[in-house]
Structure formats: structure tokens, C-alpha cells
Amino acid sequence: MDPPETRTRRRRASARSLLADRAGRRAFASFIGPVAIVAALPLLPFVNHYILAVTVRALIFIALGQAWNIVAGIGGLLSLGHGVFLGLGCYTTGFLFNDLGIPPWIGVWGGVLLSVGVALVMGGMTLRMRGVFFALATIAISLALDQLARHFVDLTGGDNGLALKFLGDSLWAAQSRSPVPFLYGSLVIVVIYYWITRWILMSRFGLEMQAVRDDEVAAAAAGVAVFRTKLLGLLASAAMTSIAATAYMQFYMAIDPEAAFGLAQAIQLQLPALIGGLGTALGPIIGGAVMIFLSEVTNWGGAKLGISGIDILVYGLMLLVVVLRAPKGIVGWLFRSPQGSKG
Amino acid sequence: MGDIEAALLLTLQAVLSGILVGGVYGVLSVGLSLAFGVMRIVNFAHGEMVMFGMYAGVVASRSFGIDPLFILPLSFVFVALVGAAQYQIVFRRFVGHTTLQQLLAAIGCALVLQMIAQLIFGVDARTATSMFTGQYIVLGPLFLSKAQIVAFVIAALATALVEALLRRTVWGKAVRAVADDLEAAEIVGISTQYVNISAFALACGLAGMAGTVLVTYFPTQPTAGFMLMPIIIIATTIGGLGSVGGTFLGGICCGMVQQMTAMLWNSALQDVPLYVLLLLFIAYRPTGFFGLRSE
């Protein structure tokens, strides 16, 4: 066993190498290409509705993964209940639109407000404790909301869920038959989240979060306000999840308790960052694309073989492989530099 | 007056069935608490161990016509072996620290085990019958299920046995030593590898056995383990992570709160007060009633 200081120093060093200028430029170069390709997708001849819809799905889950990455990757807090913020975002936007006629452009902020409020309560109660308790509390809140959503049928549609009223193609209601507008909308969110993540990683706030993640006691001794840092990270992540959730709601047009608070969904929120590389700006983007690709392939294969739920098995295996064999994800493997291996 | 009497009777009924159900929740949770106490491992796949035990009961009852209560030792050994394998493959490298990676690995295990059960048994709910299934004892105005009474007795005995193992045997002494200080235990010559794997196997085997008892009155399906996991976590947190007897009492608390909510308020929301309770405990008393002081 290394003494803790050495381990911390090594982790700091690896974090710094990802932020170093050359690596940053490389990351930017490898980022602008894919953005251009995705933006040009609808113009290409062989691209059909299915490919566009899968791309939108991937982009939305990338955005959700980027939001989770803030709290779990940079902050080191294992939230197993980010479905809470996904659900609050979807249900709030949907309820405000269906019952009060408020368009999602405004409804999204209602969802953000609610999510941040819940995150404030959740974080205020649990973030003074060590990690396990935070993880347990997030599960508890997501299960409680699941039961409440199933029970208050008038508000949420109960087990059947909530479906948006469809008004046809409309900018005001952010609705469209074609996936193309959603493609550009979610692409914008992903790009903005990428820059937010990069900014957080380089800012004092992000460095404090990483310090708390790596060694809480040492960070506190160095003058970091541990509780406040963790709480701010959680609030930022909750707001980002909620905004991406509105994109989810507009694209899928429906939400139900299983899709919001279910286990499979909670895992899908975590896998992008885990596969791609926890705590990196590029990780959730690569990981989300890989996850959706694998999930589409296994669903297709499962349908051929007549077995349902194969994607859950694949998710479980992916979790195990990533955690046991490649804890730094694809980005950690791509950007392993000679300096990094020197330690 | 009649109304008050009826309400009192209902409360009494809720408390009694809560205690019976809660005892089984307790023994379901003891393993989780033990694994945390000794190795600081929070095994999110613990529910899957219970689920395997439940299917063992179903197979015994449906395929061989044997009463699930007679195969308890067998299901203990079977699930203990599954647990030992799980420890060797996954959890060995996480001993001593509850990290993000450890929790995620446990969730991965849970998903894989759940899907294995689904591929073997299908998604439909399965039941098993023991000699007590569907029989009731009538005590004046109160009804108590015989299967639940038997399950409670077995749960209490099993918990007492584990508590005795930990307190009275040399092995138990070694386990407590490792729980106190892993490195110091190694220095005085305890094989921590052996202690850890046997404690983890015991924790899982106990969950499996409890599952076999549970299936005599509660149907099983591949997601049964995951659906029980919240209750298991809450019972463990209320009782105190790391304390065997405390966890058993925590289970009884959970059972009582759940049954009272279901009977006096609304059965669709029977678990919501439990989640609130969990949050309150985490915020104000994270060590539960009898938990470890450190961590």
C-alpha cells in the first residue's frame, strides 16, 4: 500500500495531465470533428429516420451522462438516484404543458427549480456523511418518488405515465415529427455541457471538488469548504440533468415511473461516464455513444433470438468490466501518456 | 367507543404482523451488515442472494415436491458458494474501503445475477408451498399466518446462532479482530483472506436461507432481490451497519412501520415512511441504533 499522500499526488498529477494545454488542444481537435459529422448527418444520403433517432437518443444520454459525471466523476459522490432529477424534469415539463399550457421553453426552468430544491434537501441531509450514506439516500429518494408517482394518478398518470399532448410540428411547443430539430437541440446541449465540464475541471471550484474526492480530510485541512463544495456540485449536476430531461421528454413525448426512477434507467445515466472515463470532459461523450451503440445491437440481437432484457445483462457486464479492468474508462486508455506511466 | 376499539385492534394486528414480517426482513439484512462490519463492503447484490435462495425453495417445492423448509441447509450451502465465488472474483480487491468502484461493481454483479435468474426461470412470478402455506391461527379477532410465524422463529434462531458464532467461537473472535483492525489481525497471525471469505460466504448463505424461508409465503421473480434491497438497506441502516443483533431489530422496526402504514393509511404508499425514516437516520444518526462508531 502506498501512503495516502503519494496516491493523492499521483491522482492530482493525472488530473493535471488531462488539463495540460497540449492534451486540451488534442481533446478539442478530437471533439470538433464529431460535432461537424453529427451536425451534417441529416444531409447525408444513406441516413434514415432510424439512424437519426438513435443519434438523438445517444446525444440525450450523453448529456445526462455529462450531468452525472459532474457529481460522480469530478465530485466522487455516487448518486444512484439521478433518475430523480430526470423524472422531476420530465414530469414538471409535461405537467406544465398539458395542464397549464406552458411551453417547455419555460417549463424546463420549473423542472430545474424543483430538481435543485430536491437536491438541496437531499444534499443538506446527507452530504456531511461519508459516501455510502449519500448513495443510500439517493436510492431512497428515487424509490419514494417512484411510489408517489404511481400513486398520485391525477398529477402523473400513475403506472401508465404521462404523455405530452401532440400539437404537430411547432416551435412554440418544441414538438416535431422529424428527429432533426431534436438532433440539433441535443447537440447544442452536449456541446455546452462539454464546455461547462471543461470549465469546471479547470476552475478553482472543480479543483476543490477533485481535492475533496481524492482526500476529504486533506482537502478540509487545506481550507476547502468540503460540505459546500459537494453541495454545489450536486446542485449543478441536478440542474443539468433536469434540462437534459426536458429534451428527453420532448423527444420521447412520454414518461412513466419505470423510465424515470427505474433501475435500468439509473444505470443508463451512469454508464456513459463510467465507460468513457470518470471525471473527464470527453468521457461521457465517448461512453454514451458506445453505450447506445451496444444497447441497440443487443436489443436487435435479443429480438432476433426472442430473449428480452439482454441489454440489462450487457449493462451489468459493462459495469463489471469497466470497474474491474479499466477504472479510467476509454479516455484513460486513449490518453495514457508516457509521463502518466512514469507515475 | 366501537370505532376506537376497532382502530386499536387494527393497530394491534398491524404491530403483530409487522413483527412477524420484520423478523424475516431482519435476517435478510444481517448478512449485508456483517459484510460491511468485517470488510466495509456494501454488497448491492445481497438481494440477489436472497432471490437465489427463493428460487432454491421454488425448485425444491415444484420440481421435487420437497417442503422448502427441509432444504434450508442445502440452500445455505448453495448460496454461500455463490457468495464465495462472488468474493473471489469481484470483492476481494475492495476489502477495507467502501469506494465508488466497489458499489458500482456490486451493482454490476446484481444485474448479471438477476439476468442469469431470468434466463433460467423466466420473468414470471413463481411460488412455493410449505406445509404451513395458507394456514392461519385465529386469536380472537386477530389473524396470524402460520407460515409467517414459522419464518419469524427460524429468522430469530438463525440470527441468534450467528451472534453466538461471532461471540463464542474462535472463528468469531478472528472475525471481530479483522473487523476491528485488519492489519493488526494479520500481525497476530490471523489469515485475513480466510476470515474474509468465510464471513462473506456466511453472509450470503444466510441471505439465501432467509430467501428460502421467505418464499413459503411470498412469490419470487428475477427482480425480487432488487425489490427487497431497499428494505434490506433501511433495516441495516436503522439497526446499525455492522451490528448483527441491531440489524435484526432494525428489520422488525421496518416491518412494523410498513404494516402500520399499509393498514392504517394506504397500502400503495406502504414504503414511503420507511424512505423518510432512512433519510432521517442518515442525517441525524447514521450509525443507527447499534452501528459502528467509526466511518
What's the mean per-residue pLDDT of chain A? 83
What's the mean per-residue pLDDT of chain B? 87
| pLDDT at position B205 over 60 | yes
Q: What is the mean pLDDT of residues A297-322?
A: 82
Instruction: Kindly determine whether residue A316 and residue B226, on different chains, have CB atoms separated by under 8 Å.
Output: no
Can you give the pLDDT at residue B293? 52
Q: What is the mean pLDDT of residues B104-115?
A: 89
| B231 part of a folded domain | no
Binned at pLDDT 50, 70 and 90, residue A343 comes out as very low
Tens-place pLDDT, residues B114-163: 888 988 888 888 888 888 877 888 877 788 888 889 899 999 999 999 99
Interface of B with A in 231-250 (CB under 8 A): 233-234, 237, 241
Binned at pLDDT 50, 70 and 90, residue A118 comes out as very high
How many percent of chain A have pLDDT more than 90?
20
| CA closest to A124 among chain B residues | B283
Residue partners of A289: CB distance under 8 A and separation at least 6:
A58, A62
Question: Distance, in angstroms, between A332 CA and closest chain B CA?
Answer: 15
| B173 part of a folded domain | yes
Instruction: Kindly determine whether residue B103 and residue A132, on different chains, have CB atoms separated by under 8 Å.
Output: yes
Burial group, residue A302, by CB count within 10 angstroms (0-12, 13-18, 19+):
middle
- Interface test mutation site (partner A, options B118, B279, B287, max chain A beta carbons within 10 A): B279
Q: What is the mean pLDDT of residues B201-211?
A: 93
A133 in B contact zone (CB under 8 Å)? yes
Q: Chain-centre distance of CA B66, in angstroms?
A: 24
Residue B269 is which amino acid? L
Q: Where are the domains of chain A?
A: 4-261
Residue of B104, B119, B278 with shortest CB distance to A136: B278
The closest alpha carbon to A156, from A76, A239, A98, belongs to: A98
How many percent of chain B have pLDDT more than 90?
30
Tens-place pLDDT, residues A246-257: 999 989 888 888
Compute the count of residue pairs across chains A and B with CB atoms less than 8 Å apart.
113
The residue ranges of DSSP E strands in B142-251, in sequence order, are 142-145
Can you give the pLDDT at residue A337? 57
Can you give the pLDDT at residue B207? 93
B262 in A contact zone (CB under 8 Å)? no
Instruction: Kindly determine whether residue A319 and residue B226, on different chains, have CB atoms separated by under 8 Å.
Output: no
Instruction: Kindly determine whether residue B272 and residue A141, on different chains, have CB atoms separated by under 8 Å.
Output: no
Residue of A126, A141, A312 with shortest CB distance to B275: A141
What are the chain A neighbours of B277 within 8 Å (beta carbons)? none
Tens-place pLDDT, residues A12-30: 544 454 445 566 666 666 6
Tens-place pLDDT, residues A151-179: 888 888 888 888 888 887 777 777 887 88
Q: Side-chain half-sphere of A54: how many Cα atoms within 13 Å?
A: 15
Can you give the pLDDT at residue A58? 92
| B126 part of a folded domain | yes
Can you give the pLDDT at residue B137? 83
Q: How many Å apart are CA B61 and CA A36, to the nearest integer?
A: 61
Residue B28 is which amino acid? L
Tens-place pLDDT, residues A205-245: 989 999 988 888 888 888 888 889 999 999 999 999 999 99
Can you give the pLDDT at residue A22? 64
Binned at pLDDT 50, 70 and 90, residue A2 comes out as very low
Q: How many Å apart are CA B152 and CA B216, to the nearest integer?
A: 12
Instruction: Kindly determine whether residue B111 and residue A136, on different chains, have CB atoms separated by under 8 Å.
Output: no
| pLDDT at position B54 over 90 | yes
| CA closest to A318 among chain B residues | B108
Domain span including residue B75: 20-223
Question: How many domains would you assign to chain B?
Answer: 1
Q: How many Å apart are CA A47 and CA A56, to the nearest integer?
A: 13
| B143 part of a folded domain | yes
- Residues B4, B6, B12, B15, CA torsion sign: negative
The closest alpha carbon to B24, from B260, B221, B264, B259, belongs to: B259
Tens-place pLDDT, residues B145-155: 888 898 999 99
| pLDDT at position B280 over 60 | yes
Which residue in this structure is represented by grid cell 448463505? B205
A80 in Cβ contact with A142 (< 8 Å) = yes
DSSP reduced 3-state for B125 = coil
Binned at pLDDT 50, 70 and 90, residue B55 comes out as very high
The closest alpha carbon to B202, from B69, B45, B34, B58, belongs to: B34
Can you give the pLDDT at residue A193? 92
| CA closest to A130 among chain B residues | B295
| pLDDT at position B204 over 90 | yes
| B267 part of a folded domain | no
Binned at pLDDT 50, 70 and 90, residue A8 comes out as low
* DSSP class of B189: T
| pLDDT at position B268 over 80 | no
